[in-house]
Structure 1
Amino acid sequence: MISWRPESPYNELPPLPPKAEVESKRILKLTVEARASLASLDQAAAAMTNPQVLLNTIPLLEAQASSEVENIVTTTDDLFRHAQDETAADPATREALSYRTALLEGFKSVSDRGIVTSNTAMEVCSIIKKHRTDLRTGEGTFIGDPATRKAVYTPPRGRTVIEGKLAAWENFANAPSELDPLVRMALAHYQFEAIHPFDDGNGRTGRILNVLMLVSSGLLRQPVLHHSKYIIGRKTDYYDTLLAVTAEESWEDWVEYMLEAVRATSTSTLSKIGRLQTLQNDVKDWISTSISGAHIALLDVLFEQPYCRISNVMEQCHVSRPTATKWLKALVQNGVLHDMQVGREILFINWRFMDLLINDDPET
């Protein structure tokens, strides 16, 4: 019997793992497929000559999608334009850039510690919100319509209760288990969102923790899983399936949703890597034929960020401003780059790379 009512704090939220069977034959089959896709992505990312190409771009795409799930909307163009300097960025763009920073800092933390902890969650949320975040203490927290005050779900209430449930969540996330790591990640994500430990930023923090759990379990070597894009495309299903676990103990549908998110986004990102390598070879050829004496590091500069500044070429290629300017303008004249005046600065856009990042391969 489920002791839950939408308008009452769910202090009886059961600890994990659930009593219900979650690794049915259907789930195990989906797990194998998701694991295979994720392994292919991990291997392809690890084999890249310059891994910064993915580390500088995929976290930004993930930041945009995960922020959009929470109705914080910015454009990919704005994110990449302000990725190196957010001074002139609008508030939504700055908040999405904070998500990128939180993901990368969380990755460093988990790489050092080897586990995902309650402190990891607090550190990640604090970076997202740009202030020290503590556990929720408010009495009026609920999920639902703020205008009508009609609750769809009310998370556990009371600091001692929240601390206890978060400690149990941490133990489940790290204790030895016979559950597949992907299934465990799905279960832990539900539990974290159900605990809802912070006043704000729980959804974004939870989605970062998903990636960090896969890193800590050895399924990912770099934080290049862009699974929030799947969620934003199926946002209603995401929230409905989460709620169905609480209301109906519908664990299997929830785990299936998360496994498909991993499988689909791994496949999509793997396709991007293949097309990226083709584009890099094409640009390398254009550089060699259109710029006499160009430094090989120029290729890295053009792909570590879709937006390039003259100063980036000067610093990484160790050349003068006139030389860097000449190289970039030659690539504009050949159609490899587009240029754009922003204030007193000129930005050079690797527009084919930008298009590749934004758009999926229609075959995937």
Structure 2
Amino acid sequence: MPWSPDVPYNALPALPPHGIELETKPVLKATIQARTALATLAQAGRLLPNPNILIHAVPLLEAQASSEIENIVTTADELFKHAESGGGDHATKEALRYRSALFTGVEAIKHRPLTATTAGEICSTLHAREMAVRALPGTRIANPTTREVIYAPPEGADVIRDKLAAWERFVHAEDDLDPLVRMAVAHYQFEAIHPFHDGNGRTGRVINILMLIEAGLLNDPILYLSRAIIARKNDYYRLLRAVTAEQAWTEWVLYMLDVVRDSAESTTRKISNIRSCQDDIAERARLATPGGRDAQFLAVLFEQPYCRITTVARRCDVSRQTASTWLHALVEAGLLSDVKVGRELLFVNHDFLNVLTRPE
């Protein structure tokens, strides 16, 4: 039976796609470029004095961008401001749960391979409640402008579980397919299965990062993939649908490889700018306060753009009064500013925040 957008796609084929060459010459060329960009990113990350800079900051930027794709809109400033407290408005809290879901997935694959169960844990963390596979019929994906139905995912909990099991087997298949191509193909399949009532796009984008970590192409979740997807959001949805309607696999895989390459190159540039900013502030801080000669204090200033007195006291093993004195000295020197959030006084490293949030 041919595919029809308003009929549940229970006939969604298992992977790999039958009779389709996935690693065409253009795909292989793009794979080499993406791998080179990832290797350069890994090297740049190792040159940072404090790798926690990326591990804390990039997942928040990814959380903002991935949530924005689903029209959950907040700002990076709000996310960093509420990163430790988990507060903020509804959109900010949702985006912060994306970061939690990403870390949930990273922790999970340390103990067992990526599975459909991992996907369920990620989606449940996103929603702060248990998310099981869809059981009720009637899910339809429509064009947001025209409301025309453009896709009906498979229906029936048993059908969905079977397709997820087949997806798992493909993710861990022992063949010669490049891990980057496998990630692109598996991402399409997960989105086509659409296993949960909500959160499939965000769950799928977390899984992309986990697959790269499992493949040894990333050590930590420091790739800001969703920024590149937002820049070509219409292409993302158009090409997903083209795979379903036309088996247009090459165009889809090339798109995802370009997203990886572009994201890796952008993150590498961001690392270079972070290092320059860090060197500049460290030199000025040494002149402003005795704390400026404390390596741990400088490290704390560059893990989050918003810093708390309690964090400095704990991490630097100094009294609250000493931590407050150090931070206020940097405010007096113009390196930080202070802002009240609720009852708490936060210290903002604006130069660092600007480096993190501006496009590279």
TM-score band, normalised by shorter chain: over 0.9
Which secondary structure does the structure 2 equivalent of 1:83 belong to?
A: coil
Instruction: Tell me what 2:177 maps to.
Output: 179
Q: Secondary structure of the equivalent of 2:198?
A: coil
Residue 3 of structure 1: how far off its partner (Å): 2.0
What is the DSSP-based 3-state SS (H/G/I as helix, E as strand, rest coil) of the residue aligned with 1:152?
Answer: strand
Match of 1:287 in 2: 285
Judged with a 3 Å threshold, the aligned counterparts in structure 2 of structure 1 residues 42 and 350 are, in CA distance, closer, same or farther, namely same
* Closer/same/farther in 2, CA of residues 190 and 293 from structure 1, 3 Å limit: closer
Moved runs in structure 1, 4+ residues, more than 4 A? Answer: 145-149
Partner of 1:238: 236
Distance in 1 (CA, whole Å) between partners of 2:291 and 2:209 is 42
Amino acid at match of 1:273: I
Would you say the 8 A contact 2:291–2:326 is kept in 1?
A: no
Match of 1:42 in 2: 42
Q: Using structure 2 for the length normalisation, give the TM-score.
A: 0.96
Spell out the pairing of 1:125-136 with structure 2 (5 A cutoff).
Answer: 125-136=123-134
Structure 1: stretches of 5+ with no match in the other structure: none
Please identify, of 44-53 and 33-42, the stretch whose mean Cα deviation from structure 2 is larger.
44-53
Contact 1:138–1:199 (8 Å) recurs in 2:
no
Distance (Å, rounded) in 1 between the aligned partners of 2:266 and 2:205: 18
- Conserved 8 A contact 1:10-1:154: yes
State the alpha-carbon separation in 2 of the partners of residues 46 and 121 from structure 1.
29
What SS does the corresponding residue of 2:49 show, helix, strand or coil? Answer: coil
Q: Which residue of 2 aligns with 1:351?
A: 350
| 1:76-95 matched pairs, under 5 angstroms | 76-87=76-87, 89-95=88-94
Q: What secondary structure is seen at the aligned counterpart in 2 of 1:308? A: strand
Please state whether the residue corresponding to 2:251 is helix, strand or coil: helix
Partner residue, 1:155: 153
Partners of 1:127 and 1:293 in 2: how far apart?
A: 38
Letter in 2 for 1:90: D
Residue in 1 that maps onto 2:314: 315
Residue number in structure 2 paired with 1:263: 261
| 1:177-234 Cα distance to aligned partner (Å, 9 max, x none) | 2111000000000000000000000000000000000111111111111100111111
Q: Is the 8 A contact 1:106 1:120 kept in 2?
A: yes
Q: Does structure 1 conserve the Cα–Cα contact (< 8 Å) formed by 2:61 and 2:76?
A: yes
Match of 1:66 in 2: 66
**DSSP 3-state at the match of 2:129:** coil
- Which residue of 2 is the match for residue 18 of structure 1? 17
- Cα drift, residue 50 of structure 1: 1.6
Q: Which amino acid in structure 2 is aligned with residue 7 of structure 1?
A: D
Tell me whether 291-300 or 71-80 shows the greater mean CA deviation.
Answer: 291-300
Q: Give the percent of matched residue pairs that are identical in Structure 1 and Structure 2.
A: 52
